[in-house]
Structure 1
Amino acid sequence: MAKEKGRKVIAQNKKARHDYHIMDTYECGLVLTGTEVKSLRQGRASLVDGFVQIDGHEAWLHNVHVPEYSQGTWTNHTARRKRKLLLHRAEIDKLESKSGETGHTIVPLSLYFKDGRAKVEIALARGKKEYDKRQTLREKQDRREAERTMSAIRRRQRA
């Protein structure tokens, strides 16, 4: 069996990009059991309520839902257990100091397989206020409107 190459996305947390200002992103590995990996390979996971917490100089991923493996036996995992993240010591120390500041948190952005290994992309983020969310939506709509207008002009010029 040939080893798979590239990046296969399992789950994304789109709400995180809406609710937070993303300041810095990190790619890290996960410590998983066998049934968790099999369940992820079926493309089943949810990052919606997930967050990262640093306890005793170790990073832990909380509230990420990986459903039980359907063919699993008594060795099956619990769906919302905390999972250890694999990061370099310097990265953990940096995240620990930054997340201690007021209003900062660490959220998972996406869960994927990279060259056959399960990875999670986490981000150091600061919560957006309600008016920031509205402004982001307005900018997105304005950008979309401008692109539509430009493509309409290009179509008229070609015809």
Structure 2
Amino acid sequence: MTSALSAAPLDADAFRALLRRQAATVTVVTAPGSPPVGFTATSFTSVSLRPPLVSFCLDRGSSSWPTLERAAHVGVHLLGEDQHEVARTFATSGIDRFAAHTGWRYGPHGVPLLDSPAAWLLCRVTGRVAAGDHAIVLAEPLHGQYAQGAAPLIYHMGRYASVAQPAPEQRAA
């Protein structure tokens, strides 16, 4: 069987269109600074259990990158299904995101912590890896908390959405 598929990588528009079909949890990552920074990300994932590690990606051309490039600690907030406006605020460029969103406080290490997410993690940054025009940031969770029964906010096909019925929580055996 011969293939007519090209060995060249997908162009950016085709790649974006393809990945829009993948549902992703919506997170807001925050870091201390003067002023503090925060941005909406759908690239958050768990990496390892031993030791606990998570990752997220950030465009190195973004206004948040200079602070994230130096940050020793970050907050990762998994947004709940009712937090569309929080996601939009932290996805909007050219505004003071913390002035526009007043539901937050300073936590340990000066990390801004948002009020009432479905879950949050306070993390120590352990590494940064250049990956194309982005950086993959690796972080070790130091503290965390979750709201029992909270349904996550997801991003799919260019829109915020929620799961129809969250799965019941189960403990691993």
- TM-score interval, smaller chain: under 0.3
TM-score when normalising by structure 1: 0.25
**Larger relative CO (CA 8 A, sep 6+): 1 or 2?**
1
TM-score when normalising by structure 2: 0.24
Pick the structure with more strand per residue: 2
Max Rg structure:
1
Pick the structure with more helix per residue: 1
